[in-house]
Amino acid sequence: MSQKLSNAQIAWRAAQDIADGAYVNLGIGFPEMVAKFQPPGRQAIFHTENGVLNFGEAPPAGEEDWDLINAGKKAITLKPGAAFFHHADSFGMVRGGHLDVAILGTYEVAENGDLANWSTGPKGVPAVGGAMDLVHGAKRVAVITDHVTKDGKPKLVKRCTLPLTGVGCVTRVYSSLAVIDIEGGRFVLREKLPSMSVEELQAVTGAELVLPDMIGDLIAPEV
């Protein structure tokens, strides 16, 4: 793979599909980057598990108020109308189906929509955390990820081998090489890098890609 999207470009592409006024939770780490790339004229309302709704961008360096953080312990700002609430109320919003979209990172995604985005290995986290609630509480669950691991193995697989975060929960994957929907227990290719053939993409994907009549070009600006 001589060419692929950067993390920022993947985040940009995912942001293009967030509707104006949507209530959105972004996973800790890489998914937080999605908030930077909201299209002009659209404004999502961001939710964080530790109890803030409608927070804004990170403050300039040196101007942080460390009483204002997101679930990833990163400094945030507040927008007009922002609200604070108890941790339990935050998860009540998640479990009650009040979030339109959750965007998460991943280790593996299976063609049936199973998600594995935590690990108990040497560098793993101690528990699955709030992701297990998000994947079944949000109305739509999307994943942003590099298409392969650092050693070149597919992250989009037939069946997950790592502990599951959720079963049959993912509906769309934004990767460094393609945009892929999960429909009927299959990976359906929607967009791919124009410089990459379907055969090349299939070779680094761990399950069969379903090819619709129209496959768009995955093009992202330099961001």
pLDDT of residue 213: 96
pLDDT of residue 124: 59
pLDDT of residue 3: 87
pLDDT of residue 175: 98
Give domain status of residue 2, yes or no: no
Calculate the average pLDDT of the chain.
Answer: 93
For the stretch 148-193, pLDDT in tens is 999 999 999 999 999 999 999 999 999 999 999 999 999 999 999 9
For the stretch 126-158, pLDDT in tens is 667 788 899 999 999 999 999 999 999 999 999
- Please confirm, yes or no, whether 200 is among the known catalytic residues: no
pLDDT of residue 7: 96
pLDDT of residue 1 exceeding 60, the answer is no
Distances 6 to 146, 148, 166, 170, 174 between C-alpha atoms, Å: 9, 13, 27, 22, 12
Give domain status of residue 211, yes or no: yes
Give domain status of residue 116, yes or no: yes
Encoded tokens for 35? 């908030």
Total domain count, the chain: 1
Give domain status of residue 131, yes or no: yes
Give domain status of residue 82, yes or no: yes
pLDDT of residue 29: 86
Please tell me the pTM assigned to this model.
Answer: 0.93
Query: What is the 3-state secondary structure of the chain?
Result: CCCCCCHHHHHHHHHCCCCCCCEEEECCCHHHHHHHHCCCCCCCEEEECCCEEEECCCCCCCCCCCCCECCCCCECCEEEEEEECCHHHHHHHHHCCCCCEEEECCCEEECCCCEECCCCCCCCCCCCCCHHHHHHHCCEEEEEECCECCCCCECEECCCCCCCCECCCCCEEEECCEEEEEECCEEEEEEECCCCCHHHHHHCCECCEECCCCCEECCCCCC
Phi then psi dihedrals of residue 73, to 5 deg: 65, 25
Give domain status of residue 222, yes or no: no
pLDDT of residue 64: 95
For the stretch 86-107, pLDDT in tens is 999 999 999 999 999 999 999 9
pLDDT of residue 46: 95
Encoded tokens for 43? 């404004």
Residue 145: give the domain boundaries: 7-217
Residues 6 or more apart whose Cβ sits within 8 Å of residue 67: none
We report the CATH number of the domain holding residue 141 as 3.40.1080.10
pLDDT of residue 120: 67
> Which of 32, 49, 108, 111 is flagged as catalytic?
49
Distance CA 73, CA 77 (A): 13
Mean pLDDT for 21-25 is 96
pLDDT of residue 2: 58
pLDDT of residue 28: 87
